Amino acid sequence: MSLKHYRHLQEHFHSLIRNKVLEAGSKLPSEREIGEQFKLTRVTVRQALQSLEMEGMVYRQNRRGWFVSPPAVVYDPAAHLSFNIFVTEQGYTPHTEKLQQTLVAADSEVATKMNLAVGTPVLFLHRRRYIDNRPVLIEKMYINTTLLPGIEEEDLTQSLSQLLARKYQMSYRDMDLSFKATSLPEEATSALGITAGQSGLNIERINYTQDKQVLEIDYEYWRHDAVTIQIAIRD
Amino acid sequence: MSLKHYRHLQEHFHSLIRNKVLEAGSKLPSEREIGEQFKLTRVTVRQALQSLEMEGMVYRQNRRGWFVSPPAVVYDPAAHLSFNIFVTEQGYTPHTEKLQQTLVAADSEVATKMNLAVGTPVLFLHRRRYIDNRPVLIEKMYINTTLLPGIEEEDLTQSLSQLLARKYQMSYRDMDLSFKATSLPEEATSALGITAGQSGLNIERINYTQDKQVLEIDYEYWRHDAVTIQIAIRD
């Protein structure tokens, strides 16, 4: 490949995106059109775009092509209890899709954390969440149905924090969080339509009730360009 | 390349590392030796090892070869004020190297945050930090020398929180933190000896004095496999 043309392509889109000639969400020309313009093969064009994807500048939608990435949303775990609320407050539209919902027998890890006997039924929920129609995270949750009887009959694409408040007069209180930068596993990149091997953020969260019982355990994988965690430590 | 041999190589090292036949810190055979064993070219061996590096299983030391990654350290920003202390408490040996130290004129971003006039001298400090001799992060700091006169004459490879306490009777109190998964910029991968394009964690931190003045602004890039952020939110 021609390194000069490859760099020229990258500088071209860097400049258009930085100067907002191409705004967040705009569609790039097709890989074929870009190849003709920069005298590069389609394979090389795709490599260049994947490199811009790693930098968080563009993203790909399966079968629709490449788009300019929107800014990351800010997630402050101390202030933001609900994905739907913090996404909406920042001017974007949240959407949630349920991929799987099933009662499972708690394995020893989940049972220990929830202080249940191994084999107690818990609700497993697998969801994909969107911001402005872009899939940004997948999550797998284990929900303590012993504390939340009948939750499996509800619409579980809605905000769980709002459902807890309305149906059970419960709210999320204490939580334990961990964050890790990681290369996304294949199940996350394929569910999010991302190039294999891209980096992302892994969030694990345990939500407790007011009296310290575990309500749910949540494992999330986010696109790396979709979220910034912000925390204020005050003495 | 032979996909079968490539997968066999990956499964081989996965199994040895999971079952602790190869322990954290152990050296892998050379790329040449691995290539002979698995009937793969050296280029393909390196690709397979880079893929294991993305998963956080192995890391490369320039000119020394490939090693099994140690576990990530846990960083709890609400509890841990000093890299030296939390690394030591977890049974590892911290080390800090100064790459650059210079007085610079505050630009408008730094000046605004520090409530100083643009052009006021501030101390710029560029450091590389190690855990058990593995470089894990680079940081660039702007230090408010107006609040800390003479700090530039001290040994700035030491813990700044301990220096602040000893010389100025000051301590870190409030801080604003942000975390973002990112593909590491070239200056970070080259300073840390990582394959270009690997993912990492970007941490930005503003440290305040007891009376809300900005003491320092810190920009860090961490290897993705070196750190897990843990935060407990308590109501």
The answer to the question of residue B149 being in a domain is: yes
Please judge whether B228 and A180 are an interchain contact, meaning their C-beta atoms are less than 8 angstroms apart. yes
Chain B contact set for A231 (CB, 8 A) = 77, 176-179, 231
> Do A54 and A83 belong together in one domain?
no
The residue-averaged pLDDT of A65-93 equals: 93
Among A52, A76, A183, the residue to mutate for chain B (most B Cβ within 10 A): A183
- CATH number for B183: 3.40.1410.10
> Do A181 and A224 belong together in one domain?
yes
**Domain limit, last residue, from B26, B45, B68:** B68
- CATH number for B62: 1.10.10.10
CA–CA gap between residue B178 and residue B197 (Å, rounded): 21
**Domain limit, last residue, from B39, B68, B97:** B68
In this predicted structure, the answer to whether residue A1 has a pLDDT above a threshold of 70 is no
> Do B46 and B88 belong together in one domain?
no
The answer to the question of residue A33 being in a domain is: yes
10 Å Cβ neighbour count for A106? 22
pLDDT in tens, B85-128: 999 999 999 999 999 999 999 999 999 999 999 999 999 999 99
The residue-averaged pLDDT of B4-19 equals: 88
Domain hosting A169: range is 73-229
In this predicted structure, the answer to whether residue A199 has a pLDDT above a threshold of 90 is no
> Residue A174: which of B174, B228, B233 has the nearest Cβ?
B233
Q: Range with the lowest mean pLDDT among A102-111, B18-27, B216-225?
A: B18-27
ipTM of the complex: 0.89
The answer to the question of residue B234 being in a domain is: no
> Do B59 and B121 belong together in one domain?
no
User: A45: pLDDT confidence band, cut at 50, 70 and 90?
Assistant: very high
Looking at chain B, the whole-number percentage of residues with pLDDT higher than 90 is: 74
Give the residue with greater pLDDT, A142 vs B133: A142
Domain count, chain A: 2
The answer to the question of residue A234 being in a domain is: no
> Do A49 and A138 belong together in one domain?
no
> Do B193 and B136 belong together in one domain?
yes
Please judge whether B224 and A54 are an interchain contact, meaning their C-beta atoms are less than 8 angstroms apart. no
A118 close to A108: Cβ distance less than 8 angstroms: yes
**Domain limit, last residue, from A24, A53, A68:** A68
> Do A137 and A194 belong together in one domain?
yes
Distance in Å, alpha carbon of B211 to nearest chain A alpha carbon: 11
pLDDT in tens, B164-206: 999 999 888 899 999 999 989 899 999 998 888 888 999 999 9
The residue-averaged pLDDT of B206-219 equals: 93
The answer to the question of residue A235 being in a domain is: no
pLDDT in tens, A49-58: 988 988 889 9
Please judge whether A234 and B174 are an interchain contact, meaning their C-beta atoms are less than 8 angstroms apart. yes
The answer to the question of residue B235 being in a domain is: no
The answer to the question of residue B108 being in a domain is: yes
The answer to the question of residue A54 being in a domain is: yes
> Do B129 and B224 belong together in one domain?
yes
Mean pLDDT of chain A: 92
> Do A147 and A59 belong together in one domain?
no
Among B218, B231, B234, the residue to mutate for chain A (most A Cβ within 10 A): B231
B157 close to B98: Cβ distance less than 8 angstroms: yes
In this predicted structure, the answer to whether residue B5 has a pLDDT above a threshold of 70 is yes
Looking at chain A, the whole-number percentage of residues with pLDDT higher than 70 is: 99
> Do B176 and B142 belong together in one domain?
yes
> Do A29 and A80 belong together in one domain?
no
In this predicted structure, the answer to whether residue B70 has a pLDDT above a threshold of 70 is yes
The residue-averaged pLDDT of A187-202 equals: 90
Q: What is the pLDDT of residue B81?
A: 78
Chain B contact set for A173 (CB, 8 A) = 235
In this predicted structure, the answer to whether residue A9 has a pLDDT above a threshold of 60 is yes
Looking at chain B, the whole-number percentage of residues with pLDDT higher than 70 is: 99
Chain A contact set for B228 (CB, 8 A) = 178-180
Please judge whether B177 and A233 are an interchain contact, meaning their C-beta atoms are less than 8 angstroms apart. yes
Cβ neighbours of residue B59 closer than 8 Å, sequence gap 6 or more: B53, B66, B67, B69, B134, B194, B223, B225
Q: What is the pLDDT of residue B1?
A: 54
> Do B23 and B109 belong together in one domain?
no
Give the residue with greater pLDDT, B166 vs B4: B166
User: A235: pLDDT confidence band, cut at 50, 70 and 90?
Assistant: confident
Mean pLDDT of chain B: 92
